[in-house]
Amino acid sequence: MPAPASPSFPDFRADFPILGQQVHGHPLIYFDNAATSQKPRQVIEALIRYYERDNANVHRGLHELSMRATDAFEAARARAARFIGAASPDEIIFTRGTTEGVNLAAQAWCARHLQPGDVILTTGMEHHSNLVPWQLAAQRNRASLRHIPVLDDGTLDMDALDSLLDGPVRLLAFVHVSNSLGTINPAREICARARALGITTFLDGAQAAGHMPVDVRGIGCDFYAFSGHKMCAPTGIGVLYTRLEVLEEMPPWQGGGEMILSVALDSSTYKAPPARFEAGTPDIAGAIGLAAAMDYLDGIGLEAIQAHGEALTRRAWDGLSALPGIRLLGPRQSRAPLAAFTLDCAHPHDLVEYANTRGLALRGGHHCTQPLMRRFKVPGTSRASFYFYNTEQEVDAMLGILRQAVEFFGG
């Protein structure tokens, strides 16, 4: 088994059953946290409790199980509001994840506000989930897109921002933390500059929520989307935060049960937000698991989680920099807990497959950021991404495996 965590940070590995296994005869080193995180017993047990004791559909049910399920589901909404500093639980829409949150806004908000000739501003580092939906919205509404360039160091060209915001820009959509570069964008500053011009702002927070403190009112954004599965919660659950004034102006994006006040054969009236945007039976267990994950993470402390991730990343970056033929992407300082790199001796896919035979889980490819890979003229990268249950000893083990890989492929 890997050695315990650094004495400066508690060892939480015992809470994660999956981390105790071996892969190909080696202790598992799980460094694919930017794709999905592992789940602690506390979250797993919350799911079991719900399914064993309270499983029923929410809202409108008058029997005991339905009332318990409804109370837990709405308590999870309130928990999510507290977790990100929303003004009210009514500003929280449960989704399947960040991707659905983007699509919801791209359809419902754009249907009301985007006009022919308008501009949606994004960046050159966006995940496809925060790019393709806006492309589709622009096509539907005969609008166009602009993009904030990415500099060689992996940061946004902030000097170009004011000129790009000029003109008929109606919405600025950008990633809080890049899943491919580790760049932490200055969200508060960007939103303030957009807000001064009356531009609506959408943040993709998939790599930020659960890894660092997030205060949506402090940031000053109109939308903020994130996924539960990247922050110790189940897959298939996420949150779209929307300022209530913005939410109240948006039409439904899906129709069905739960979101209606009354239905006739040829017309319907709809509930107020957030119910208006949650048609059908929701992922009740997922929301309950998400609340349990937020309790767990707040019990550790987001500041401590962020500091531990930064320490692991510095250790990894220093060790990786010594490998021959390596190219590291993204800023050296003030970065999220991941390291993306290429090696001259091996394609990213080959390197990740080699690491897998040693029990090391990395990810290789374009990471759903093909425009960014083209910007840096690489077919893809190998990516190691860390979370609070990872240790310095695991980072050192990764570096040893990669040194062996350099000898294997380069020899």
pLDDT single digits (tens) 159-177? 999 999 999 999 999 999 9
- Identity of the amino acid at 133: P
Q: What is the mean pLDDT of the chain?
A: 96
Summarize pLDDT for 281-331 with one digit per residue, the tens.
999 999 999 999 999 999 999 999 999 999 999 999 999 999 999 999 999
- Beta carbons within 8 Å of 231's beta carbon, 6+ residues apart: 37, 209, 210, 211, 293, 294, 297
Catalytic: 368? yes
Q: What is the mean pLDDT of the segment spanning 241-252?
A: 97
3-class SS at 25? Answer: coil
Mean pLDDT of all residues in 200-221? 98
Structure confidence at residue 411 (pLDDT): 55
Q: Are 295 and 42 in contact (CB under 8 A)?
A: yes
Sheet holding 144-148, edge to edge: 92-95, 238-242, 223-227, 200-204, 169-175, 119-123, 144-148
Confidence at residue 4, expressed as pLDDT on a 0 to 100 scale: 44
pLDDT of residue 9: 87
Q: Which pLDDT score, from 0 to 100, does residue 333 have?
A: 86
Q: Which residue has the tokens 């309790």?
A: 295
Residue 50 DSSP symbol: I
The pLDDT score that the predictor gives to residue 217 is 98
Give burial (CB, 10 Å; 0-12/13-18/19+) of 223.
Answer: buried
Q: What is the pTM of this model?
A: 0.96
Judge whether residue 158 has pLDDT over 80.
yes
Read off the tokens for 164.
């790009």
Residue 5: the pLDDT is 44
* pLDDT confidence of residue 327: 98
4-13: per-residue pLDDT in tens? Answer: 444 478 899 9
Q: Count of alpha carbons within 13 Å of 395, Cβ hemisphere only?
A: 26
- Whether the pLDDT of residue 94 is over 50: the answer is yes
Each residue of 26-43: pLDDT tens digit?
999 999 999 999 999 999
**Could you tell me the domains of the chain?**
13-30+302-410 (3.90.1150.10), 44-299 (3.40.640.10)
